[in-house]
């Protein structure tokens, strides 16, 4: 029987535009782009040239620090561009997909007969190892340091999040194969929600998390199951990446299909869409949103995703494409003095709290300027981890490395502070601050 951990801290934000349980499949045609910035901590080195033809599974770039870590093309086609930014930073590698797809054959493997080295070598060869992250630092991991444990969270509870249990239907065998492969490397923990159908997965230690968002954050689950101390490493794997691994071992191919929730109050018909990593968003967004309105297109979740445009591409770790009002054209009569029945407030500043679990069409406005940190306990109310969030943020801003370590920075990732950023009356970019602190600490300990 699975262990159950009850969490009381957190916040469920009810937003309009949740994706319906209908599935749309986008054909793998058109332009694709693999973006190195989707893989935090990777220094890319491009290994293809414009005009080269690649198969699905061929490497487009590698990690310059660990050259054995490759990043596979999601489709077969012709490399049309290697875009670079300032100081020749690699922004993306673009591929024009073939009409008929061809794949590199890596061969089927029986994971029950593989050891840790066999699994890691297979993932490295196929260009999938880079989808494994690690704590501390919340970066793409390297194959030279073995983890004390591996964590997979199959509970997605952020606003408008894609339901993984809907995604995995019909692919349970691939998911089980991926989990078994990971279990050959180290003890693997699977976090699920209450009533999950995934509690029967084999070769893993399953834990049920009962509580509001961010109970599904893998960092929160690590904190409650097996916290990370200085000098220790745990690997974290997104559940869709587990499917990627399972498909590789079961079919011998790199198959980067994922189900994405096309959601948000500005989407005409929110639904689940089957896409490939790196697929252009133009086809998805065409005729699906009101072109006359000012909108914010988010590559990922509304709390943790990155702003993008119609010319963008699906991120490697994005399970949602969210469209909400920008808010820059809003004109509110009498401003804050109005009761604001259609606005959400965690502090009950508006009368909307009287309507219970009402769904809101929130826009992208911050509604206030940056100001001094107010030590009010706001972060602690939505951060179900055994750390002092406000003191940790202050230590990061001050650059006090010893204090950061004492306050548990090795256990956190930027997404753990997404809700704290949402409720923060000081209007600080907490996720950016945490990412900067982690990067600085990583350089210090290199």
- Residue 335: which pLDDT band, with cuts at 50, 70 and 90? low
* Bridge partners, 133 (sequence order): 140, 236
The sheet with strand 31-34 has its strands ordered as 31-34, 90-97, 77-84, 53-54
Res. 1: pLDDT tops 70: no
Using omega within 30 degrees of 0 as the cis cutoff, is the peptide bond preceding 42 cis? no
Lowest mean pLDDT among 76-80, 283-287, 329-333: 329-333
Tokens of 317: 């770790």
Tokens of 361: 């069409």
Res. 446: pLDDT tops 80: no
- Residue 349: which pLDDT band, with cuts at 50, 70 and 90? confident
Average pLDDT over residues 296-313: 96
Give percent of the chain with pLDDT exceeding 90.
Answer: 84
Residue among 5, 435, 412, 407 at smallest CA distance from 206: 5
CA gyration radius for the chain? 22
* Per-residue confidence (pLDDT) for residue 337, from 0 to 100: 67
Q: What angle do CA 164, 170, 175 make, to 5 degrees?
A: 60
* Per-residue confidence (pLDDT) for residue 293, from 0 to 100: 87
CA distance 422 to 199: 32
* Per-residue confidence (pLDDT) for residue 336, from 0 to 100: 64
* Per-residue confidence (pLDDT) for residue 353, from 0 to 100: 66
Res. 18: pLDDT tops 80: yes
CA distance 363 to 264: 10
- The CA–CA distances, whole Å, from 381 to 181, 411, 418 equal 37, 18, 13
pLDDT tens track for 110-162: 999 999 999 999 999 999 999 999 999 999 999 999 999 999 999 999 999 99
* Per-residue confidence (pLDDT) for residue 357, from 0 to 100: 78
Give percent of the chain with pLDDT exceeding 70.
Answer: 97
Query: Is this prediction's pTM over 0.85?
Result: yes
């Amino acid at each position: 029987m699975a262990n159950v951990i009850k969490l009381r801290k957190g916040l469920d934000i009810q937003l309009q535009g949740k994706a319906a349980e209908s599935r749309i499949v986008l054909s793998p045609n058109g332009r694709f782009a693999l973006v190195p910035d989707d893989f935090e901590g990777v220094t890319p080195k491009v290994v293809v040239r414009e005009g080269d033809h690649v198969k699905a599974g061929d490497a487009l770039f590698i990690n310059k620090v660990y050259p054995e870590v490759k990043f596979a093309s999601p489709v077969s086609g012709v490399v049309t561009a290697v875009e670079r930014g300032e100081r020749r930073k690699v922004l993306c590698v673009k591929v024009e997909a073939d009409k008929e797809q061809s794949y590199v054959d890596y061969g089927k493997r029986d994971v029950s007969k593989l050891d840790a080295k066999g699994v890691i070598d297979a993932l490295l060869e196929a260009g999938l190892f880079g989808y494994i992250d690690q704590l501390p630092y919340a970066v793409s991991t390297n194959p030279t340091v073995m983890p004390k444990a591996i964590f997979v969270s199959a509970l997605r509870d952020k606003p408008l999040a894609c339901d993984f249990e809907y995604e995995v239907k019909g692919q349970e065998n691939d998911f089980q194969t991926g989990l078994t492969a990971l279990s050959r490397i180290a003890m693997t923990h699977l976090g699920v929600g209450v009533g999950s159908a995934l509690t029967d997965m084999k070769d893993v230690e399953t834990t049920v998390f009962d509580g509001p968002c961010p109970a599904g954050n893998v960092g929160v689950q690590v904190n409650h199951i097996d916290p990370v101390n200085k000098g220790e490493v745990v690997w974290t794997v997104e559940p869709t990446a587990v499917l990627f691994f399972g498909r590789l071992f079961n079919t011998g191919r790199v198959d980067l299909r994922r189900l994405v929730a096309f959601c948000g109050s500005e989407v005409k018909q929110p639904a689940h869409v089957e896409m490939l990593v790196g697929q252009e968003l133009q086809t998805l967004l065409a005729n699906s949103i009101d072109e006359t309105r000012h909108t914010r297109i988010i590559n990922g979740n509304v709390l943790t995703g990155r702003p993008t445009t119609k010319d963008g591409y699906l991120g490697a770790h994005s399970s949602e494409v969210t469209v909400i009002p920008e808010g820059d054209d809003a004109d509110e009569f009498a401003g804050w003095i109005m009761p604001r029945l259609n606005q959400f407030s965690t502090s009950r500043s508006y009368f909307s709290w009287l309507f219970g679990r009402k769904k809101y069409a929130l826009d992208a406005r911050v509604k206030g300027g940056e100001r001094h940190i107010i030590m009010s306990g706001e972060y602690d109310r939505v951060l179900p981890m055994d750390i002092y969030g406000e003191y940790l943020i202050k230590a990061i801003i001050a650059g006090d490395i010893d204090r950061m370590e004492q306050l548990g920075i090795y256990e956190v990732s930027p997404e753990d502070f997404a809700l704290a950023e949402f409720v923060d009356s000081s209007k600080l970019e907490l996720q950016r601050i945490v990412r900067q602190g982690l990067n600085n600490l990583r350089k210090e300990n290199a």
